[in-house]
Structure 1
Amino acid sequence: MIIDNVFAIGVMSGTSLDGVDFVYVKFQSDNYQDFEIMHAKTFPYSKEWKQLLQNAIQSPKKEIEDLDILYGKYLGNITNQFISEYQIKNIDFIASHGHTILHQPEKGITLQIGNGQEIANISKQKVVCDFRTQDVKLGGQGAPLVPIGDALLFSDFDFCLNLGGFSNISFKKDDNRIAFDICPVNIVLNFYANKLGLEYDDAGKIASSGITNQQLLEKLNSLEFYQKEPPKSLGLEWVQKEIFPLIDGFELDISSILRTFVEHIAIQISAIIQNNSNVLITGGGVFNDFLLARMEHHSNCKIELSSKKLINFKEALIFAFLGLLKVNNKINCLKSVTGASKDHSSGVIFYPEFLKQKF
């Protein structure tokens, strides 16, 4: 039996640790582009959760396993809060990205915590999660995963660019979808804004008051990652190893660090979108006015912004869409994007314990 509409909740936590994004979205079964984000909300992290997630990368295996359960319960509880707040009645499934703790695909490692069984038990809903592991096992990067959504939901755009913890881009080339991480964005900018006691550099005002350090800029632009051909992806480990020590070695004031890194981001992104204004740009970095101005300067194109809801919640929307494809056993992971040995349908489906007991 074909159901005309599918109702899903998408849950996304990004590397910039702003909070957990939720969308409640309606998809039309026979026309994916006809979707509607009906409700959307971000639940900010407490200081305690932020610290736990930031420090987990250094934790021993047993502590990470315990955190997986604890974080799954946390996601389950705020999912219920979201459902209750918007009085949501129809839910076919929940699709959760989880939160990335480890991402070293070259070693066959990727880990997103947020135990799916815990979310299913607490929400009493079917849950789809763990979207990256299978791709890494198939020799892929496990990232980026959003491009299948770009291809099927936003095909009118030449480029789909996300400015989150990292910037990533996807586009069509020779009938294949190409996508990759470009460079760090908020994961670095927020780190240095935090040193001033701020969550982030509002609209890039602090960066705009700084001075670009040309030597640091040249060293950043010369990093080996930028010379690699796609598929390629970035993780916190790379930033901690390559970016922070390089920046800190210059002993600059924070405004000049931010100014130089904004210039670095703008140069790296503009090299790809040069002279093309048909770009869908989403993610928290969109609200950094100074960054966008520098991107316009370097790329020689006028940046047009989409709706605030799409800017803030596109990734949560697409993880709901990835869940829909998985539930229908359709391809949601592209080998042209990740470098895996084949296209495949990735993710793991969990059912609440009380449903399991009935069968």
Structure 2
Amino acid sequence: MEKNYIALGLMSGTSMDGVDASTIISDGDKGPTNSLENQYFEYDKDLYQKLTNLRDKITNSKDLKNYSNELNLIEKEITLFHAKIVNQMIKLQPKFELDIIGFHGQTIFHNADEKISVQLGNGKLLSQLTKKKVVYNFRQNDLENGGQGAPLTPIFHQNLIRNIDLNSWPIIVLNIGGISNATSVSMFYPNGDIIDNDITKSRKDHNLFAEDIGPGNCLIDEWIRKNSKYRFDKDGLIAKSGKVNELIFNQAVDNFLDLDNFTNKSLDVKDFDISFVRGLSLEDGAATLTHLTAKLIGEGLIKFMSKNNNPSLNVLNKTTCLVCGGGRKNKYLMDKLKDNLNIRELMLIDRQGLNGDFIESQAFAYLAIRSYLDLPISYPNTTGCKKQTTGGVIVKNY
């Protein structure tokens, strides 16, 4: 029997609003992953403002050097914030001894072509402050091996799907964060026929594909942040009250659907901008960007599934899509996404007894265990790396 580990995953996404923290118990491989505790810790207004302002300043890798002093100061502040979280999470689970921490940090710049992915967070300092083993810098090894450095969560998505009871194949896990990424777990014969479900249930070697497919919340969040007092469009109510500017929408679709720029490429929020809706009202801009986001996610999913399955089959109408991430809470976005997809079922992952807010933080706890065990966390069909690749720097600084 494989040994189980207690791991804490700390994840801060592109919304830069706070940190998701999850404690799990897992063997880091094929056994079930059980969630012990999930909590969200919001950045205060000052830290949020510092982070968003700094990200806006850093438009290329040279800016990392130009703003190095500012980056070092805020990295220390973020690390101290995470250390407090770790201590609080430990107190919430006094019966369990924490083995390892998966520390993703706050992404400030990502450019796979330059093999640079910068997540603010000092793993050595966090280990010193918490007296725990810490895994950090998860993306660099994949980049060095020819990968895109993202998405890294697919191996965890496969673990979740392997251990829940779904009778339809293929299955997509769609994560709508700042960027949208998709993981396809399918069971196909080479000719494209779906393997019988009874065989499917007994097998563990699923076909795993993953890719960033388009924007998630980034366009909508940036518009709301820059044009109102809010950080995001709760439930999509602002967009729902507006009117789509059809001319701008159609032009944007034509521009963005030149997705050759995005094929097999990890995406960053800086790959998208909102200048084309400048001049619209808050509501109309939100409506136009929400419809555009739904259109791009839908088209991205169609291309993704066509590329990774027999293109002669209409795979999507056989597919169950489980949606996680903050974007699933935007009801208006979800409604528009359904309008753009001929899919068997689009459901929130929460319906499977999983908390869709904490899939990524649980994933980085899981990836920390795999890194500790020297197991791969990325694969040629998930990040484009040349060979399956381990990841994460392990530090014990106490």
Q: 1:273-292, aligned counterparts within 5 Å? A: 274-292=316-334
Matched, 1:189 2:220: yes
Q: 1:26-105, aligned counterparts within 5 Å? A: 26-28=25-27, 31-32=30-31, 34-57=32-55, 58=57, 60-87=67-94, 89-105=96-112
RMSD over aligned Cα atoms? 2.2
Q: Is the 8 A contact 1:4 1:30 kept in 2?
A: no
Q: Secondary structure at the match of 2:347?
A: coil
1:304 CA drift (Å): 2.0
Alignment match, 2:397: 352
Question: What's the CA shift string for 1:309-331, capped at 9, x where partnerless?
Answer: 52100001111111111111011
Matched, 1:163 2:195: no
1:167 to 1:246, Cα distance in 2 relative to 1, 3 A: same
Q: Counterparts of 2:53 and 2:257 in 1: how far apart (Å)? A: 26
Q: Counterparts of 2:28 and 2:223 in 1: how far apart (Å)? A: 44
Alignment match, 1:5: 4
Alignment match, 2:241: 209
Write the letter of the residue equivalent to 2:51: L
Q: Is the 8 A contact 2:178 2:269 kept in 1?
A: no
Normalising to structure 1: TM-score of the pair?
0.89
Q: Is the 8 A contact 2:184 2:210 kept in 1?
A: yes
Matched, 1:252 2:312: no
Q: Counterparts of 2:96 and 2:185 in 1: how far apart (Å)? A: 38
Alignment match, 1:357: none
Q: Secondary structure at the match of 2:232?
A: coil
Q: Counterparts of 1:30 and 1:192 in 2: how far apart (Å)? A: 40
Normalising to structure 2: TM-score of the pair?
0.81
Q: Is the 8 A contact 1:3 1:29 kept in 2?
A: no
Q: Secondary structure at the match of 1:338?
A: coil
Q: Secondary structure at the match of 2:355?
A: helix
Alignment match, 1:233: 266
1:223 to 1:30, Cα distance in 2 relative to 1, 3 A: closer
1:13 to 1:187, Cα distance in 2 relative to 1, 3 A: same
The aligned length equals 346
Alignment match, 1:223: 256
1:188 to 1:333, Cα distance in 2 relative to 1, 3 A: same
1:190 CA drift (Å): 1.9
Moved more, 131-140 or 93-102: 131-140
Q: 1:328-343, aligned counterparts within 5 Å? A: 328-343=373-388
Q: Secondary structure at the match of 1:25?
A: strand
Q: Is the 8 A contact 2:28 2:370 kept in 1?
A: no
Q: Counterparts of 2:71 and 2:29 in 1: how far apart (Å)? A: 41
Unaligned runs of 5+ in 2: 58-65, 191-205, 303-315
Q: Is the 8 A contact 2:29 2:370 kept in 1?
A: no
Q: Is the 8 A contact 2:143 2:149 kept in 1?
A: yes
Q: Counterparts of 1:244 and 1:349 in 2: how far apart (Å)? A: 39
Matched, 1:295 2:306: no
Q: Counterparts of 1:286 and 1:45 in 2: how far apart (Å)? A: 21
Q: Secondary structure at the match of 2:280?
A: coil
Q: Is the 8 A contact 1:73 1:115 kept in 2?
A: no
Q: Secondary structure at the match of 2:377?
A: coil
Q: Counterparts of 2:223 and 2:320 in 1: how far apart (Å)? A: 32
1:300 CA drift (Å): 3.2
1:143 CA drift (Å): 0.8
| 1:312 equivalent among 333, 339, 357 | 357
Once the two structures are aligned, what percentage of the paired residues are identical? 29
Q: Counterparts of 1:30 and 1:275 in 2: how far apart (Å)? A: 31
Question: What's the CA shift string for 1:275-317, capped at 9, x where partnerless?
Answer: 3551110011111111111111121344222328521000011
Q: Counterparts of 1:108 and 1:176 in 2: how far apart (Å)? A: 27
Q: Secondary structure at the match of 1:4?
A: coil
Unaligned runs of 5+ in 1: 354-359
1:322 to 1:259, Cα distance in 2 relative to 1, 3 A: same
Q: Is the 8 A contact 1:77 1:122 kept in 2?
A: no
Q: Secondary structure at the match of 2:182?
A: strand
Q: Is the 8 A contact 2:215 2:297 kept in 1?
A: no
